Structure 1
Amino acid sequence: MKAIVCEEFGSVENLFLGERPDPIPDSNQVLIKVEACGVSFPDLLILQNKYQFQPSLPYSPGGEAAGQIVEVGKEVKNFQKGDRVLALCRWGGFAEKVVVDAERVFKIPNAISYVMAASSIYSYSTSYHALKDRGELKKGETLLVLGGSGAIGSAAIELGKAMGAKVIAAASSDEKLAFCKEKGADELINYGSEDLKNKIKELTDGKGVDVVLDPVGGNFTEAALRGTAWKGRYLIVGFANGEIPKIPMNLPLLKGCAIVGVFWGNFSKKEVELNLQNMDRLNQWFLEGKLKGESIQEYHLSEAKKAILALQERSKFKKGVVRIS
């Protein structure tokens, strides 16, 4: 089968279009004919050998693969050939076929396209779990989203509005903030040119924000934490900045606030039923038009390197999707 291949960690330049053996599913796995695969920040971190999980070399990137099941392991009971699914496979999705553990596979409605599934379900599922289950965001509260132009951040902006919150989006440039405004943000903070903590206080009349969603990490975490309200909830989603911040622990004490970890991957394994309920709600909101989904830039399989380069250079606000067929 055709696949994007990496034989050495490090640079995007190490990727090439090549041939790989067709994968064979184990008894608890399914084989999927991939139609589309989302491009996400973990793809880049894995390639750079900076992610918490690493594949054996050689491997193919791509962790959000959507397609049709063509073979089912003998112990798999809840899927059959022909099912339309999204597979959260961590890697392997930039290929014509991928095998995935059945517990990491989710059915998608006929009305949701493979491109929509591959581009939006992971980021929206992560953000919805963060806001609903971990942050307990309530109608009328104020939500601050760091990295608002990224996939997780832009999903959180839409979801925050759908859940009835006031949304403040923060990003590093006016161009990125214009995109956040299009996604529905009520207020904007340019943390490249404005003091983040002081601007939060200004926009909230000194109260601070009730919930912070942070997929970025780095230098802005402490400033945003200082901008939380009494009993605020600070959601740690990731470290796209590349730096894991060190937080003065007197801050949550003085503010009576909670710093909460968000790991959707483990949540979806350990709380299967609640995760499926969340995904059903998201699918319904997509079908109703309450959520628009990610803005998409499509690439052919042969252009996958270009898709990851765009992610690395943060040159686009659109979610990259690699079309396989």
Structure 2
Amino acid sequence: MQAWFCDNPIGVDALQWREAPTPQPQAGQVLLAVKAASLNFPDLLIVENKYQFKPPLPFVPGSEFAGVVEAVGEGVTAFKPGDRVAALAGNGGFGSHAIVPADKLFPLPDAMSYEHGAAFAFTYGTSIHALLDRGRLKAGETVLVLGAAGGVGTAAVQIAKAAGARVIAAASSDEKCALCKEIGADETINYSSANLREALKALTGGKGPDVVYDPVGGDLAEPVFRSIAWRGRYLVIGFAGGGIPALPWNLALLKGADLVGVFWGDFVRREPAGFQRDMRQLGQWYAEGKVKPLVHQTLPMSDLHKAYAMMSGRQVIGKLVLTP
């Protein structure tokens, strides 16, 4: 097999493409031939030693991928060689083959391509868990999605619309805002040029959004929290903007608002039945055409450094997918 190995998590430049013996699956494991892998923000953090999960060295990054089962280990009965599957393994995707625990796999629907399979579960799983479970979103409520043109952002826009909400998509350029309109957003805000608080006030009649979906953090958090509706729910997804905000706690008191943490990875581990429920709902919406991964570009696996540079430079609308 061949893969991108991280021997020292000091950044993307330390990743090396090299050959290694193809491993054989042990009990409870599956050997997967990787057909497509997507790049997610945690894949950047993990090679910089900044992510919550720190795998033993050396490791192959790539948390989300899809492919074909080549072999199964002892005790694996849910999958067999030849099955098309998607994987949420935490790492291992940026290579030609990967060893994956069988409980980290799920069947790929016949109608779903490997590229869509590799770009689906992480962002859509995060967003449905955030909005419906943690955010208690109801039909008719207003959702503000920050970073709405990114991977989780585009998923959140589509899921909120599928759930019957009114969606305000906020992004950093007119081009990104136009894309958000195309995928279903009711209104958009370019927060690079507009006053975010004034725009939210105008678009909500002074009420503010009921639910805020925030994968950005940084300087946007406080003005948005000041704009949230009474009994609003502010969903903390991540900090792609680079900074972890420090909010005055009196803001939550004055608005009767909830500040809600969303840690999807641990949700999948701790509440597997809830994860399976969410994936069934997403599969139904996918079949109905209500959700569809937005693939910004498909690159060869050899261009991983370029893909990382595009992500860190905020040049990606939707998801980047890599293929062998």
Same-fold call, TM cutoff 0.5: yes
- Does residue 291 of structure 1 match 2:282? no
Task: Tell me what 2:82 maps to.
Answer: 82
- Does residue 95 of structure 1 match 2:111? no
Cα distance between partner residues in 2 of 1:189 and 1:289: 26
Shift of 1:115: 0.8
| More displaced stretch, 119-128 vs 145-154 | 119-128
Cα distance between partner residues in 1 of 2:296 and 2:29: 29
Cα distance between partner residues in 1 of 2:223 and 2:80: 50
| More displaced stretch, 14-23 vs 166-175 | 14-23
Gaps of 5+ in 1: none
Shift of 1:185: 1.3
Match runs of 1:1-325 below 5 Å: 1-324=1-324
Percent sequence identity is 50
Cα distance between partner residues in 2 of 1:252 and 1:173: 30
Cα distance between partner residues in 2 of 1:11 and 1:176: 28
- Contact map agreement 2:68 2:85 (CA 8 A) in 1: yes
- Contact map agreement 1:221 1:245 (CA 8 A) in 2: yes
Cα distance between partner residues in 1 of 2:260 and 2:78: 33
Shift of 1:7: 2.7
Matched to 2:76, the amino acid is V
Shift of 1:318: 4.2
- Contact map agreement 1:112 1:287 (CA 8 A) in 2: no
Shift of 1:193: 2.3
- Contact map agreement 2:37 2:64 (CA 8 A) in 1: yes
Gaps of 5+ in 2: none
| More displaced stretch, 111-120 vs 142-151 | 111-120
| More displaced stretch, 14-23 vs 272-281 | 14-23
Cα distance between partner residues in 2 of 1:290 and 1:250: 39
| More displaced stretch, 56-65 vs 69-78 | 69-78
| More displaced stretch, 272-281 vs 122-131 | 272-281
After superposition, the C-alpha distances for 1:6-36 in whole angstroms (9 at most, x for unaligned) are: 3332332223321123233332222211111
Q: Secondary structure at the match of 2:229?
A: strand
Relative to the length of structure 2, the TM-score reads 0.95
- Contact map agreement 2:36 2:118 (CA 8 A) in 1: yes
After superposition, the C-alpha distances for 1:24-73 in whole angstroms (9 at most, x for unaligned) are: 33322222111111111111111222111122333222110111222223
- Contact map agreement 1:119 1:296 (CA 8 A) in 2: no
Matched to 1:215, the amino acid is P
Q: Secondary structure at the match of 2:193?
A: coil
| More displaced stretch, 63-72 vs 143-152 | 63-72
Shift of 1:241: 1.5
Cα distance between partner residues in 2 of 1:105 and 1:10: 29
Cα distance between partner residues in 1 of 2:6 and 2:153: 29
After superposition, the C-alpha distances for 1:72-101 in whole angstroms (9 at most, x for unaligned) are: 232334333332211111221011111122
Shift of 1:147: 0.6
- Contact map agreement 1:103 1:269 (CA 8 A) in 2: no
After superposition, the C-alpha distances for 1:284-304 in whole angstroms (9 at most, x for unaligned) are: 211221222223411112222
Shift of 1:230: 0.8
Cα distance between partner residues in 2 of 1:323 and 1:123: 19
Matched length:
324
Relative to the length of structure 1, the TM-score reads 0.94
Q: Secondary structure at the match of 1:298?
A: strand
